[in-house]
Chain A
């Protein structure tokens, strides 16, 4: 078993970014996928503060293809995770631990999606289509693609 990480750096002006991932020669199949975005927390925080109901929470769409014969094996709308939970209602208790701020915690665990895609070629191709509104002035953000491979 081997884990592979591919990082795409996306600027806000990027509409569609193609990518290719070379897989090891001895990779037999893809058994797990996880895609997540990094460095969009500014977007997330602004979004929380300036919620208008107009802007989409969608950061973009990722699409991947393992070989021409199989077609698309993975596609996902990447949405902002509302994984910040405010614990301020516990202020009388946790005020002792967080005297100068608010208590928040992340409540989402990142997990691989289990799949089984036999590999006929050792290159994976796909694209990412960005969708972050310009108002948030993010210079760039990262899309990280994690693949879990079964090796022969």
Chain B
């Protein structure tokens, strides 16, 4: 049985029209392995259609530039247990999660101020095999 602790942290990023914004989340020092990412927004439809992001952990690329925000979002019709995008268990190293949020033009969804919230789920110990 695993007796590690799951640490949930988040960072908010405000989108800039047609531009890219960088933010950095410093993970808690006890967080040893990053296991998942999830994204929510205060304007779901804008983040869904306009947003894309690049995510790096400890200079290791998790999601490349242009990776759409919609692929990491989930709605009410998804069970809470399934809302995190699993990424295996990646050592957190120096514990810095870098996120670049890019807003892209969309014909049908004009820009209005929106922010995304990036959740990082980490564990304190390496998960043991079942």
Contact = CB atoms under 8 A, between A and B. Distances in A.
Interface in B46-75: 48-49, 61, 63-68, 70-71, 75
Interface in A17-73: 38-39, 41-42, 45
A3 B64 contact: yes
A77 interface: no
B77 interface: yes
Contacts of A39: 49, 105-108
A131 interface: no
B109 interface: yes
Contacts of A150: none
B71 A110 contact: yes
Most buried by A among B48, B77, B104, B107: B107
Q: What band does the interface of chain A fall in when counting residues whose beta carbon is under 8 Å from B?
A: 10 to 19
Contact of B107 (A5, A41, A105): A41
A49 to B, nearest CB: 12
B113 interface: no
Majority-rule SS of B interface residues: mixed
B18 to A, nearest CB: 13
Given A39-B108, A41-B109, A110-B70, 18 more contacts: A2-B61, A3-B67, A5-B64, A5-B65, A7-B66, A38-B106, A39-B49, A39-B105, A41-B106, A42-B107, A42-B108, A45-B108, A106-B48, A106-B75, A107-B77, A138-B107, A139-B107, A142-B104
12 contacts: A2-B61, A3-B63, A5-B64, A5-B67, A38-B49, A39-B106, A39-B107, A42-B107, A105-B76, A106-B48, A110-B70, A138-B107
A38 B77 contact: no
Contact of B49 (A3, A4, A41, A110): A41
Interface string A120-148: 00000000000000000011001010100
